A and B are shown apart, each in its own frame.
Chain A
């Protein structure tokens, strides 16, 4: 018999997919969703399941692969973080019209806070825009149960279904009872029907009408209807108003504990919405017919709230009772509920002191690349992108970060903006290998065509580091570690039409500086120059064999504690000792990369010989 297991929310979602016979699972990594596909792959291996599991080059491609899988009658799922859904929004909008054959789930993980994202956007609004139903789990356990609900919903109405967990579901762990793995259709069978799968605008109109019909029925679908958690007992006092609280997602989990702690369980009715869109029609009428005041607590936008038309009874985001930005922490919710219910409650809050800022690992090859870039293009404009290397911010080597791939297009934009001016700044863009594949390639082609004078440094650490070392198209291995074909970056860059494309190991920092100077000079006259700074990430275990041999560094007596290395290089293993007027090496942190030796202007750091 299976025992209760400690599962991360994302593992629970993955187990839900496996138990429900998902046959095609795709993703592009992004916090807080990354562990979903990795866990699907590990459950797949453990149970020897024949299915297709893959990291795709980006979320749009991931979506389209999984969607085609469901068109053949198989159960499929695509997972991503909320901004990834922006990338996949094109196929999403159309897939909603065309519908599905096998069950199809779009798992889009939101990040209120935000903890590790560019925006706090609410994927449920995307579901609303696409006109597909969305389920909002409150815990790892519920997220797993919702996979079953969602597949049934999807197959009953032939519609893609979104599941929207948030960080506090994805990255919570809970003891969960694993279930049975149920076998489902594994024979792909695509029935041609161009009127639907390749519908022209005229038929799209019909499909849109069908979609509206489906939505009307889904808003009466019993299995996903809101549940009433607490019922008010006893008679109302004269003059007392009837009150209800409506919650969904992790706000529901917080609220359940808080209502008990405040002794409100029998005093205020509590409802949990499982399917925020479309909100069940009967539920809306029930609320309006029963209560004078309704408080709605949800993250991040008032999606439930805006579907309840009778505005003067509703308390929530729109009237300012619930904050519109930031994560809804339980201490905030406690205050909101106490105020709504008219009870006293003491809530403490944490001091708003900033914690320690994140920094690139000691020995991270990116740090060496940024140092070299600043040497080679002193007053340049530095556009950058999404990944560990965003932390080049700390080194003053990152001026812009917009979204995946924008380093290159923004570099182009800056060039065009300045090009008629007499003095043009040098422009150096940095992008990671995985991000380059994801969204950099079209932008680079455009830059070549438009003759953009800039240097692109591809920070090739051979992995998707920030999200936990997922493979890239250059890795030559898949989600389960299976061997795959690899695509090399240099020929791809050359194929985009770039004439200057050179490679260098950033640990050879002096060489990289000269190469970058050459590239900058070239770019001023001739158009885009690309430098591939190639060195494996220290944290990717599969790349251990490619790592360089660690060296031991000593600080010589000529070090006078000037702090140059600390300020301009910021390796966490270099620790200033102000009293002694020197720096020390933190032996626990130092990875022995040896780059600091090339950084110190006084040659006070040196490699201990005999190493």
Chain B
């Protein structure tokens, strides 16, 4: 099994956290995993992108036209990072409107994660809402992990911080049930 996923957004949205949850879900499944992340200046509100590679790889980076999926926390990033996708890939975009420029995809799913996150009173949990939505929509054979895997990872990571764990699980489930 080999899967390559791009996670894209702007600094402060929690792209790194989503990347980490997915990478740890891969370990939970006994799969080898690589990520490559944006740190430094760009984290101050600039464009950030993570590469996630599950399966046997040597390189931490995804080549253009090679990614199997795109999780875009900002709709404007589709024009920047859409070119990473191969034909037949999936894309999950945080947007209140349909997005264009992804005509080669097998499935494009949009959710207004900003609004959903605000509705549950945790406006900064956009990342987890969109992740939950993605886990529910992407066909099983196209994603190496499930919502349950991610929930277990959260439980491990936030074991000592009950309030954060509850809020995170709630955000994930809110996205999942949309």
Partner of B118, one of A139, A334, A390, A588: A588
Q: Are A254 and B42 in contact (CB under 8 A)?
A: no
- Say yes or no: A173 contacts B20, CB within 8 Å: yes
The docked-state distance in angstroms from the alpha carbon of A450 to that of B118 is 57
Q: Is the CB of A254 within 8 A of B33?
A: no
B58 touching A256 by the CB < 8 A rule?
A: yes
| Contact present for B63 and A334 (CB under 8 Å) | yes
Interface string of A2-14 (1 = CB under 8 A from B): 0011101000000
Q: Which residues of B contact A466 (CB under 8 A)?
A: 40-41
Residues in A neighbouring B32, C-beta threshold 8 A = 175
Q: Is the CB of A6 within 8 A of B58?
A: no
Q: Does B98 touch A at the CB level, under 8 Å? A: no
Q: Which of A5, A329, A588 contacts B123 (CB 8 A)?
A: A588
Of listed B35, B40, B58, B124, residue having the most chain A CB within 10 A = B40
A355 at the B interface (CB under 8 A): yes
| Interface presence of B96 (CB below 8 A) | no
| Nearest CB of A to B75, in Å | 12
Q: Are B80 and A173 in contact (CB under 8 A)?
A: no
Is A447 close to B, CB under 8 A?
no
Beta-carbon contact of A330 and B61 below 8 Å: yes
Given contacts A329-B61, A358-B42, A358-B43, contact A6 B80 (CB under 8 A): no
Distance in angstroms from A116 CB to nearest chain B CB is 3
From B11, which residue of chain A is reached at the shortest CB distance?
A: A358
Chain B residue with Cβ nearest A259: B58
Query: A172-B37, A175-B33 given as contacts; is B42 within 8 A of A257 (CB)?
Result: no
CB distance from B159 to the nearest CB of A (A): 15
Select one of B34, B41, B76 contacting A116, CB under 8 A.
B41
Q: How far is the CA of A334 from the CA of B61 in the complex (A)?
A: 13
Q: CA of A572 to CA of B45 in the docked complex: distance in angstroms?
A: 9
CA distance A390 to B59 in the complex (A): 32
Does any Cβ of A come within 8 Å of B88's Cβ?
Answer: no
- Is residue B27 within 8 Å, beta carbon to beta carbon, of the partner chain? yes
Count residues of chain B with CB under 8 A from any CB of chain A: 45
List CB contacts (< 8 Å) of A325-358 with chain B: 329-331, 334, 346-351, 353, 355-358
For A357, list chain B residues within 8 Å (CB). 46
| B63 near A355: Cβ-Cβ < 8 Å | no
* Contact digits for A146-185, partner B, Cβ 8 Å, 1 yes 0 no: 0000000000000000000000100111110000000000
Give the size range of A's interface with the partner. Answer: 35 or more
* A31 in contact (CB, < 8 A): yes
Which residues on A sit within 8 Å (CB–CB) of B37?
8, 171-173
A276 sits at the interface (CB 8 A): no
Closest to A349 in B: B64
- CA separation between A5 and B28, bound complex, in Å? 10
Among residues of B, the one whose C-beta sits closest to the C-beta of A329 is B61
Per the bound structure, the CA–CA distance linking A403 and B115 in Å amounts to: 43
Choose among B11, B41, B58, B83 the residue that contacts A349 (Cβ–Cβ < 8 A).
Answer: B83
Contact status of A348 and B63, CB under 8 A, knowing A139-B58, A173-B37 = yes
Q: Are A348 and B65 closer than 8 Å at their CB atoms?
A: yes
Whether B70 sits at the interface, judged by CB under 8 Å, is no
Q: What residues of chain B lie closer than 8 Å to A331, measured between beta carbons?
A: 63-64
Residues of A within 8 A of B (CB): 4-6, 8, 31-32, 115-116, 138-139, 168, 171-175, 250, 252-254, 256-258, 329-331, 334, 346-351, 353, 355-361, 388, 390-391, 466-467, 572, 587-588
7 pairs, A vs B, C-beta closer than 8 Å: A6-B27, A31-B40, A173-B23, A253-B59, A256-B58, A351-B83, A391-B41
B interface residue numbers (CB < 8 A to A): 10-12, 19-20, 23-24, 26-27, 32-47, 57-65, 76-77, 79-81, 83-84, 114, 118, 123-124
Which 9 pairs of residues, A with B, have the shortest CB-CB distance? A355-B47, A116-B40, A358-B46, A31-B40, A172-B60, A348-B64, A348-B65, A256-B58, A358-B44
7 other A-B residue contacts (CB within 8 Å) besides A257-B58, A358-B11, A388-B44: A8-B37, A173-B35, A175-B26, A254-B59, A329-B63, A334-B63, A350-B80
